[in-house]
Structure 1
Amino acid sequence: MLVRSALREYRTWVIDSRYWNGYVPRQDDIIIATAPKCGTTWMQQIVSSLVFGDANVRSLPAVSPWVEARFRHTPEEVHRKLATQQHRRFLKTHLPIDGLPLYDDVKYIHVGRNGRDVGLSMHNHYSGFNETQIALFDGIGRDDPVVGRPYQRPPADPLQFFRQWIATKVTPGPVNGPPNPFYFDVEASYWAERKRPNVLLVHYSDLSADLEGEMRRIAEFLGIVREENLWRALVEAARFETMQSAGDELMPHTKAMFTGGSRRFFNKGIDSRWREVLMDDDVALYEARVRELLTPGLASWLEGGRRRAGDPPSVPD
């Protein structure tokens, strides 16, 4: 049953939240909702293994479409694809929860990650687009009066990118964050809904520390039961090294989008890499932004997941 319709529209060079207007839910749908570079593909692979009950390599965009990706398909195309899927559907989004319709019989899985790692991973991602992909984004931006300008190229220096990203000022309106909705807005939106029984928050650090334990937690949330003799293979299929090795099959579109193809997309998968890159002043900038925009409970969870903050529904703010 519909709890509420989307509350806000988001449009950038990459996304258009209006694509969700044609969404017809099924009672067992799963929506994997994350800020970019927080473990989206990782969660898609985990859910794929659980839904299909095997470790087979599948094209994740084929079985788990990114609904609002305006550069990849039209609204009609993505909804035709969703309508024909016979397996339990698991959809991808990078929208804050206020950009989505909220249903009480659809499962929402949100993956969070330490923002310092997110910023560095974003730089690797955004600076890896090839000229053909950038030209496509340019055309979308020019043709959409809301966006109204070419794609914003990131600086080559990751520290310069990080400092600009931290300083992003979000203003009311549909254009939010270059080129996806602002990380802090996405995190705050799902944190606010964390006590709903159909919303599960999972953290990148917890996945890194105990992948099998978190996968079992996800399976329980989704009501999926798998035979014990399958679990070793399911967990192995979701390890970063396994996914990186199968990158061309899991994410086939990356060959046409990125310099370096899937190897660029599946970069390092390291938790706390920011410690090797950021300067003290950069960390101070990040911490100041966290104090400005996030509640203490959310800040603690983003810092280190359930092992640091506790289970999100029980964390007070």
Structure 2
Amino acid sequence: MKTIKWPVKKQELQSNHFDSTMWNDFKFRDDDIVISTYAKSGTTWVQQIVSQLIFNGETGLPVAEMSPWVDLRVPPKHVKLPAIEAQNHRRFLKTHLPVENLNFSPKAKYIYIGRDGRDVIWSMYHHHLNANDKFYEALNESPGLVGPKIERPGDSVVEYYHEWLDKDGYPIWSLWDNVNSWWAIKDLPNVLMLHFNNLKKDMPGEIRKIAAFLDIPIDESKWNDILTHCSFEYMKENAAESAPLGGAFWEGGAKTFINKGTNGRWKDLLSEEEAAKYDKIASEKLLPECARWLKTGEY
């Protein structure tokens, strides 16, 4: 039998958003679920799906509170970790870290969601443009800031896109490092690779795939409820349950946080040359099959 080589943490990552040391004192349980993305790739959607599977189609679940972003540096460790430890349901946690910055548990289940980086950055621009002063104060003024402060973006999403590409993920973090690290472990038995496109194309099929991976039997009498509660329309209408702090960090509240859930908005604003710039860099930074998967959802 082939011995599995499990990932080992190689370094810490601390920034205006991250404090990877949160994981150093985290106590795993054998049935923990970790939901990971670069960001703006369907994280909240998959958190909602997992909550519906665990709680069998219940309504009114405070998903953002139940599924915290562990490596976000606010609130601090002494506040966050005891709150997670006190949870008595099957835990489903969120990370945006590359694998080499995580404490990886062989017994936990990891779900990684990919999305074309151009769709990601259009969503991220909306996320940062509509964030309010409380959002920027929480990240920039709270103790423990490492590196430069994060600033509100300018008026041009196209300029934001080019700066993000030219500066390897500025003003947040590198897409390529994140995707490469998870692609490298995609064949581990406790890792499931999902893609935003496939969730859009066949949500019922993808939910059943997630359920099987998590060893959660589906109660068919609740199946229609689960599908309804995982729809974009339901999540938009009940956005306060999914948005961090009920949407308090965004102008317009939680419904601003749950934005459009659509792909291809960049096609109306980027020239062919500008769009191709992303493909060229992706081909340089990623393996061909990884670049194809990230763009299309196809292996």
TM-score, scaled relative to structure 1: 0.88
Task: Give the C-alpha shift of residue 98 in structure 1.
Answer: 1.0
Q: Which residue of 1 aligns with 2:206?
A: 214
Aligned pair partner of 1:116 in 115, 118, 129: 118
> Mean Cα displacement is larger for which, 259-268 or 194-203?
259-268
What fraction of aligned residue pairs are identical, expressed as a percent? 35
1:35 is matched with which residue: 24, 33, 38? 38
Structure 2 unaligned blocks of 5 or more = none
Q: Distance in 2 between matches of 1:110 and 1:63?
A: 19
1:249 CA displacement: 2.7
SS of equivalent residue, structure 1 residue 200? strand
**Offset at 1:179?**
4.6
Aligned counterpart, 1:10: 13
Q: Report the CA distance shift for 1:252/1:19 in structure 2 as closer, same or farther (over 3 A).
A: closer
Q: CA deviation at 1:275?
A: 2.1
SS in 1 for 2:236: helix
Paired with 1:273 and 1:113, the residues of 2 have a C-alpha distance of: 13
Residue in 1 that maps onto 2:76 = 74
Q: Which residue of 1 aligns with 2:53?
A: 50
Offset at residue 140 of structure 1 (A): 4.2
Give ranges in structure 1 of 5+ residues lacking alignment. 170-176, 310-317
Seen in structure 2, the aligned counterparts of structure 1 residues 179 and 15 have a Cα distance that, compared at 3 Å, is: farther
**Kept after mapping to 1: 8 A contact 2:158/2:270:** yes
Cα offset, 1:252, TM superposition: 5.3
1: distance between equivalents of 2:256 and 2:271?
24
SS of 1:253's partner is: helix
CA displacement 1:242-267 (0-9 Å, x = unmatched): 10010023325253211121122111
Q: CA shift at 1:4, angstroms? A: 4.8
> Residue 106 in 1 paired to residue 114 in 2?
no
Could you give the per-residue CA deviations for residues 43-81 of structure 1, whole angstroms, max 9, x where no partner exists? 10000000111231211222111111113x111222111
8 Å contact from structure 2 (residues 40, 124) kept in 1: yes
Q: 1:63 aligns with which of 59, 62, 66?
A: 66
Deviation at 1:40, TM superposition (A): 0.4
Match of 1:167 in 2: 166
Which digits, 9 at most, give the CA deviation of each residue in 1:223-249, with x for residues without a partner? 000221211111111111110010023
The CA RMSD measured in Å over matched residues stands at 1.8
Q: Indicate conservation of the 8 Å contact 2:13/2:19, yes or no.
A: yes
Once the two structures are overlaid, the 10-residue window that deviates more, 23-32 or 257-266, is 257-266
Q: For residues 186-220 of structure 1, what are the alpha-carbon distances to aligned partners after superposition, in whole Å with 9 as ceiling and x for unaligned?
A: 11111010010100000000000000000000000
Partner of 1:228: 220
Match of 2:28 in 1: 25
Check conservation: 1:38, 1:113, Cα contact below 8 A. yes
1:312 maps to which residue?
Answer: none
Match of 2:157 in 1: 158
In 2: Cα distance, 1:104 partner to 1:252 partner: 28
In the superposition, relative to structure 1, how do residues 252 and 198 fare at CA in structure 2: closer, same or farther (>3 Å)? closer
Cα distance change, pair 213–4 in 1 and its aligned pair in 2 (3 A):
closer
Looking at structure 1, the residues matched to 267 and 106 of structure 2 have their Cα atoms a distance apart, in angstroms, of 40
Give the corresponding residue for 2:191: 199
Aligned partners of 2:159, 2:107: CA distance in 1, in Å? 43
**Separation of aligned partners in 2, 1:277 and 1:200:** 33
How many residue pairs get aligned? The number is: 296
